[in-house]
Amino acid sequence: MANKLEQRVWLITGANSGLGLAIASYVSSRGDKVIATVRSLDKFPRSLKDQGASPLVLDLMSPDDEIKLAAEKALQVHGHVDVLVNNAGWGIPSPWEEVDLNEVRAQFQTMFFGTIAFTQALLPHFRTRRTGYVLNVSSLGSFLQPPSWGAYCSAKAAMSAFTNSLHTEMKPFGVQVLDILPGYFPTPFMFTAGGKSTYKPSVVYTDPSQGYGGPESLHNYHREVGLLGDVGKLAERIFEVVTKTGMAEDLVMKEGQVYDWTMIPLGADTERAAKEKLVVMLDNINGTEALWRSVNMDPKAQKLVPKFTNSA
């Protein structure tokens, strides 16, 4: 249990259920303070209220100015934020041919544009304090892109790209930016198709390899092979990453080697799925070597290309 001098302040988006709620609950149980964002106060979980967490209304579908105002209000709750967890997200499974483009835009607004607006408003705070964590909860799916989850995974992949770039920009200021990549966790997100009610199985793309069955087939597969994640354990691992304790104690340095991780995969399905994808990618690169080497400019021609000069 942290004493008052060691208490960190966590700002967690999408904390009303699933991973966000699990992280908020665990962090609170360890003595840290939590600011939990919800789309409306009636969605603020009673369990978090009982633990002393503070609610903050945030709708990432709102205009940028409203989102940034919510970030400013978050800083007023305890005077500072130590850990930002960008967790809010949703998705509706659908083949690309049939997906509603408005839903694609909405997913990107929540998990990419809205998240950037919220984070951007907090970056000066982290930078000037020269400390803190920004944890962006992406998905193992952003790396694998399974069929019928293309829109959701594309938005998460955009978040991962944002995270990797921000990691380098904030590193000189002592701020750690990490891409959290959960595998499959049987949360309410999956059983309600991302909390939406418009999900309908395809009548055209019905082969399992095309993603037929959406949430059902994904859940049943992971259940059958024994690769179901535990949200409580995920929350504990994330807390350990931030506090550099427990299983994450050696993530910074071990045997004199300094690590600079940009992503934290969480889920036993990482080994089977991600490692297989890496093998396929390497085979693809090696197999097309003749092609990608053939398009390099001739050395003599390269010398004729002018250098950029400072226009100032």
C-alpha torsion angle, residues 292, 294, 298, 301 (rounded to 10): -60
Give strand pairing partners of 54.
35
C-alpha 156, offset from chain centre: 7
DSSP code string of 62-90: S-HHHHHHHHHHHHHHHS--SEEEE----
Cβ–Cβ under 8 Å, residues 160 and 142: yes
Catalytic, 156? Answer yes
26, 33, 133, 152: the active-site residue: 152
For residue 305, give the DSSP letter: S
Amino acid at 90: W
Listed in sequence order, the DSSP H helices in the chain are: 18-29, 46-50, 64-78, 101-108, 114-129, 141-144, 150-170, 188-191, 215-225, 231-243, 269, 275-287, 289-294, 299-302
Bridge partners (DSSP) listed for residue 214: none
Are the beta carbons of 271 and 279 closer than 8 angstroms? no
Q: Which one is catalytic: 156, 196, 199, 200?
A: 156
The full 3-state SS of 161-223, as one line of letters, equals HHHHHHHHHHHHHCCEEEEEEECCCCCHHHHCCCCCCCCCCCCCCCCHHHCCCCHHHHHHHHH
What does DSSP say about strands 54-57 and 33-38: parallel, antiparallel, or unpaired? parallel
d(CA 227, CA 269): 6
Q: What is the set of active-site residues?
A: 152, 156
